[in-house]
Amino acid sequence: MSVRIALFDDNRNVRESISLLLQTEPQFEMVGVFSHVLDCIEDLQACKPDIVLMDIEMPGMTGIEAVRLIKKEFPAVQVLMQTVFEDDDRVFDSICAGASGYILKNHLNIRLVDAIKELQYGGSPMSPSIARKVLGKLQSLPPSAGKEAVEDYQLTPREKGVLSCIVNGLSYKMIASELQISYETVRSHVKKIYEKLHVASLTEMVAKAINQKIV
């Protein structure tokens, strides 16, 4: 079974050498080679690749934006980013944009063929130095994110509603009119929430609600 590949790179030498390299693998089929991404959607519609090789540095539109567009239009397409930069933000942005792999250009010759095959098998080939940055990113932000089994405080639906109003900055009065219940009822719910979350002030409650994503 053959793999349809499209290539975006503004450097002519790179385009030619990659094309040559990939021709050595019979199951690879170059279906499109482009020097810019301005028409990438139309280009892909025409050549229908399985895999896109994308230079991160492209004239006109950045490769990152292009990835975003491509993944939006063709979610099944696997995009392999190629770059000479190891800039943290770019790497991170590309990932958020939906790139499936990320290799440095100085690894290109040796690993490109392997990388494409790994993409085929559902893997995400990544240069180790890039991987390090990705891990660093992931390790740096789990304060708020991820899966950490947050406690379940067993709030009733009504209580959650009240809580979310509070987090949005509403006063008891406003919540009462918002939820069409009496001021005193709001207070009752709030008292319950206080007990359940083990907090002693609205501010604590808001902080806990946001950080534990109870809202």
Give contact residues for DNA (rule: CB under 7 A).
Answer: 154, 156-159, 171-173, 179, 181-185, 187-191, 194, 200-202
Query: What minimum distance in Å lies between the beta carbon of 4 and a second copy?
Result: 20
Asked if 60 is part of the footprint of a second copy (rule: CB under 8 A), the reply reads: no
Which residues make Cβ contacts (< 8 Å) with residue 101, sequence separation at least 6?
78, 79, 80, 81, 115, 118, 119, 123, 124, 125, 126
Q: Which is nearer to DNA, 111 or 196 (CB)?
A: 196
157 binds, among DNA, a second copy, none (CB under 5 to 8 A by kind): DNA
Is 54 buried (19+), middle (13-18) or exposed (0-12) by CB count in 10 A? buried
Q: Which residues pair with 51 in a beta bridge?
A: 5, 78
How far apart (Å, rounded) are the C-alpha atoms in residues 171 and 190?
11
Question: One symbol per residue from 73 to 112: x for binding a second copy (CB under 8 A), - otherwise; what is it?
Answer: ----------------x--x--xx-xxxx-----------
Name the packing angle between helices 183-197 and 172-179 (round to 10°). Answer: 110
Query: What minimum distance in Å lies between the beta carbon of 204 and DNA?
Result: 8
Positions touching a second copy (CB under 8 A) are 89, 92, 95-96, 98-101, 115, 118-119, 121-129, 131-132, 134-135, 137-139, 141-142, 144-147, 166-171, 199-207, 210-211
